[in-house]
Amino acid sequence: MPGFDRDWAEDALSGNSPEIPDGWIPCSERMPDPNTYVLVCNGVWVGMGKYNDAEYFENCERWQDEHGEFIELIHHPVTHWQLLPTAPEVK
């Protein structure tokens, strides 16, 4: 697949990032704060997205990718998420 970096994806899925020690959180356990961008995975795709709670979409919870597309409408539903790493300090 063009633009797909298998090593990066495997590292991200392993949850062993020194910047993100807690790893992946199953959506069945808890959801991130609404409208906060996080790293998401649905078993097929890994990328940045945000969770919108039922208040925002009239009793319908939705995940959007960084382009505003609804992830579950173009891919499988999001199953896991984790916080994005802290940005590096620029000196």
> Each residue of 10-25: pLDDT tens digit?
665 555 544 444 589 9
* Residue 1, in any domain of the structure: no
Nearest to 51 by CA among 66, 34, 68, 38: 34
Summary mean pLDDT of the chain = 78
Is 2:69 a contact under the CB 8 Å cutoff?
Answer: no
Query: Would you say the pTM of this structure is higher than 0.75?
Result: no
Q: What is the pLDDT of residue 38?
A: 96
* Residue 91, in any domain of the structure: no
* Residue 57, in any domain of the structure: yes
* Residue 88, in any domain of the structure: no
Structure token pair of residue 48: 């940045």
Domain that holds residue 62: 6-82
Question: For tokens 């802290």, what's the residue?
Answer: 86
* Residue 90, in any domain of the structure: no
Question: Count H helices, E strands: the chain?
Answer: 2, 5
Q: What is the pLDDT of residue 60?
A: 62
3-state class percentages of the chain: helix first, strand second, coil last, to nearest 5: 15, 25, 60
Q: How many domains does the chain have?
A: 1
